[in-house]
Amino acid sequence: MVIQKRFGLSLLVLSCLGLSACDFNDNDGAPAPAPTPPADVSYSYEVTVQNLTQGQPLSPVGVALHGDAVMWEVGMSASAALEVLAEGGDNSDFTAAEGVMASASGAGPIAPGSSETITVTVVNEPDMFISVATMLVNTNDAFAGITGHALGELEVNQSMTMVLPVLDAGTEANSEVAGTIPGPADGGEGYNADRDDADLVSFHPGVVSGEDGLTMSVLTAAHRFDNPAVKLTITRVE
């Protein structure tokens, strides 16, 4: 009789333990909720370009945001994209170059004394570098711009202002002759794939003009320019 009571008590204890184990492991198998991803952060910049020359319209400005790199370098050969911009004023290849993460273009030429503001935005990329370029259209291949300028430390509503010298793409001789200049002084062909100059980017020596002894030049003294030729202001607005 004692043995039976002990056996019954043991079964009762095991039964309780089994129920406890079942209760402890009871769950519906639902996965844990996924963490909420962080919200996207936009970084927007206003790029204002002012034409400081007296007789050189600027081509539509090309603006590109990219990583830590440059899109040209003094003393080095110009890329095909820069050649197209500097000879013909077309910025489409420049703004679509490899490595560009966001870009924008000016709406049209900027007349002497005028300015334009262009907005460019990139998402979730706080440490961008900027390149800006525009052609002086009454030249063979002169352009003004900056490349690989860091924006990472610019806070919202902060600005940076600089003045830009004129550079020579080195892809077309500065002949100034009829048919070679795309601006209103000539209405020539602009871009040509042939390279008949030093093929090195350099600081531009300036326009000579027919009035100063370059007899075949279609340019006049009004097309000359002093450095700097462009004022650039970059403001972070978002």
pLDDT, mean of residues 13-20: 44
Interval 105-145: pLDDT, tens: 999 999 999 999 999 999 999 999 999 999 999 999 999 99
Predicted TM-score of the model (pTM): 0.85
pLDDT at 33: 85
pLDDT exceeds 90 at position 19: no
**Band of pLDDT at residue 27, cut at 50, 70 and 90:** low
pLDDT, mean of residues 28-41: 84
Interval 185-196: pLDDT, tens: 999 998 999 999
**Residue for token pair 């002084």:** 185
pLDDT at 28: 61
Output Rg (C-alpha) for the chain, integer angstroms: 33
Beta strand pairing status for 129-135 and 115-123?
unpaired
Q: How far apart are CA 162 and CA 147, in angstroms?
A: 13
pLDDT exceeds 50 at position 17: no
pLDDT, mean of residues 73-78: 98
Q: Taking CA 235 as the corner, what is the angle to CA 120 and CA 37, rounded to the nearest 5 degrees?
A: 60
Q: What are phi and psi of 138, to 5 degrees?
A: -90, 50
pLDDT, mean of residues 197-212: 95
CB 132 within 8 A of CB 49: yes
Domains and CATH numbers, the chain: 42-236 (2.60.40)
pLDDT at 106: 98
